[in-house]
């Protein structure tokens, strides 16, 4: 079902104060994937998003992918600096040589002796979770990875020393839900071999635990938020199945189940697949695809057709296809920061918001959809509680500590 098919009225005329009452009224009777609310992007930023219980309301960024931002880290969304400004971050460095994101981390989080004496330079942010950031570092034309604690503004260590320097586009990483492991995809350096591998590192000791040779170079992965560090969803993981999604146990790389048909009309997920992520409760997997190629001119002029975005939804336990949401967006599938077309989830985890463009107007709109509620009675009670209390009050409720953590989507092992 497309985003245009569920329009029940013009909710954009509402003030922010009326959004909560309207959402609560509709959510009781609405079916999964029903349109709950729609408004302009300006109205979303001016209160509609917060009123609908979305903590993350930044849905646009002018930064360039792998230069100003990375797939796992948008500086505009994280609020570290404004990449929309055109002037260089430091006037004595050439912008073409060093990006704003790399400048920020090198000048604020890398010890001086590492950058000046040992010749370490920041290339990009590989991944992050909470206050922990994994940086792509280069020293003497060799790639390494650094662990940064943003809260303490301290570098915790370096790991994964490679023999060559990799470009940012060749790397992908994600920290496990419990913060103990980091899974990195990178080109193989084995003699006579080609392609990419997955390497699993233990962050406390910075040791390599295991690795797996991927059958396809463009595979993407994401940790299951319900697991400690034991299960990931991976695309194109099985040999001979380039249009597949697999649930895999780590560190043994054992395939639990595989969906061999992710895309309805293409035999390969490359180059349209841009990101893979779980819903907040882990019961859904979302694969986001966009029209490939450079569309920067269309995005800037907004006189041509916007690109197509498809969000395929899968069961988080079986990888079975459940749904597909399709919409249009003025974005570049090659250069745009991913937040320009990626969905975001509400604090309760039962709603999804997307930013899109109608074919008739270049104005940005935001639409909110109801997600299917899956899982146990415990999960359903969590959603109802989060509908009733503002996010900032949850930690102050007179409840056991373990239950408070569950309400805040912290898994049982934390």
Instruction: For residues 82-87, give the mean pLDDT.
Output: 42
Tokens of 283: 């019961």
Tokens of 179: 């913060």
pLDDT at 392: 86
The pTM score is 0.88
Find the range with the poorest average confidence among 7-16, 109-118, 351-360: 7-16
Helices (H), 318-396: 377-388
Between 107 and 214, residue with greater pLDDT: 214
Residue among 279, 283, 358 nearest 320 (CA): 283
**Mean residue pLDDT across the chain:** 85
- Distance (Å, whole) CA 251 – CA 81: 37
304 pLDDT band (50/70/90 cuts)?
confident
- Distance (Å, whole) CA 97 – CA 101: 12
pLDDT at 257: 98
pLDDT above 70 covers what percent of the chain? 85
Give the model confidence (pLDDT) of 244-261 as tens digits: 999 999 999 999 999 999
- Distance (Å, whole) CA 284 – CA 286: 7
CA 47 to chain centre: 23
> Is residue 45 left, alpha or beta, with left meaning phi > 0 and alpha meaning psi from -120 to 50?
alpha
Residues ≥6 apart with Cβ < 8 Å to 301: none
Residue among 75, 125, 141, 69 nearest 338 (CA): 69
Indicate the SS3 state at residue 281.
Answer: coil
DSSP string, 147-171: EEETTTTEEEEEE---SSPPPGGG-
122 pLDDT band (50/70/90 cuts)?
confident
96 pLDDT band (50/70/90 cuts)?
very low
Indicate the SS3 state at residue 74.
Answer: coil
What ranges make up the beta strands (E) of 193-346? Answer: 196-202, 207-213, 221-223, 231-235, 245-249, 254-259, 273-278, 284-290, 307-315, 321-329, 344-345
φ/ψ (deg, to 5) at 369? -115, 150
CA-to-CA dists, residue 119 to 98, 105, 112, 140, 269, angstroms? 15, 15, 10, 7, 39
pLDDT at 68 exceeding the cut of 60? yes
pLDDT at 277 exceeding the cut of 90? yes
- Distance (Å, whole) CA 252 – CA 188: 19
């Amino acid at each position: 079902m497309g985003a245009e098919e569920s329009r029940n009225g013009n909710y954009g005329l509402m003030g922010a104060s009326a959004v909560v009452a309207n959402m609560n009224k509709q959510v009781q009777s609405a079916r999964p994937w029903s349109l709950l609310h729609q408004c302009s992007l300006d109205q979303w930023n001016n209160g509609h998003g917060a009123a609908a219980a979305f903590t993350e309301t930044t849905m646009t960024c002018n930064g360039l992918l792998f230069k100003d931002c990375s797939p796992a880290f948008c500086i505009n969304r994280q609020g570290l600096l404004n990449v929309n400004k055109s002037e260089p971050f430091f006037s004595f460095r050439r912008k073409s040589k060093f990006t704003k994101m790399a400048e920020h981390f090198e000048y604020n989080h890398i010890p001086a002796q590492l950058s000046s004496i040992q010749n370490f330079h920041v290339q990009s942010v590989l991944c992050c979770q909470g206050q922990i950031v994994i940086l792509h570092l280069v020293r003497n034309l060799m790639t390494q990875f650094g662990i940064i604690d943003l809260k303490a503004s301290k570098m915790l260590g370096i790991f994964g020393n490679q023999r060559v320097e990799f470009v940012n586009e060749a790397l992908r990483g994600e920290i496990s839900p419990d913060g103990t492991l980091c899974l990195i995809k990178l080109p193989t350096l084995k003699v006579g071999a080609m392609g990419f591998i997955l390497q699993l590192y233990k962050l406390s000791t910075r040791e390599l635990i295991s690795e797996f040779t991927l059958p396809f170079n463009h595979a993407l992965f994401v940790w299951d938020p319900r697991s400690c560090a034991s299960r990931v969803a991976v695309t194109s993981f099985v040999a001979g199945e380039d249009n597949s999604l697999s649930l895999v146990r780590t560190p043994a790389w054992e395939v639990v189940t595989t969906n061999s048909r992710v895309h309805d009309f293409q035999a390969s997920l490359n180059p349209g697949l841009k990101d893979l992520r779980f819903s907040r409760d882990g019961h859904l997997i979302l694969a986001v695809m966009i029209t490939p190629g450079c569309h920067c001119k269309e995005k800037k002029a907004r006189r041509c057709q916007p690109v197509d975005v498809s969000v395929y939804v899968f069961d988080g336990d079986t990888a079975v296809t459940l749904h597909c949401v399709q919409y249009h967006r003025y974005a570049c599938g090659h250069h745009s920061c991913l937040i320009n077309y990626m969905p975001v989830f509400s604090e309760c985890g039962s709603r999804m918001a997307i930013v899109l463009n109608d074919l008739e107007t270049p104005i940005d709109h935001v639409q909110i959809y109801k997600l299917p509620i899956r899982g146990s009675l415990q999960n359903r009670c969590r959603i109802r509680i989060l509908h009733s209390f503002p996010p900032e009050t949850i930690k102050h409720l007179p409840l056991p500590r373990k239950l408070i953590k569950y309400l805040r989507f912290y898994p049982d092992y934390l």
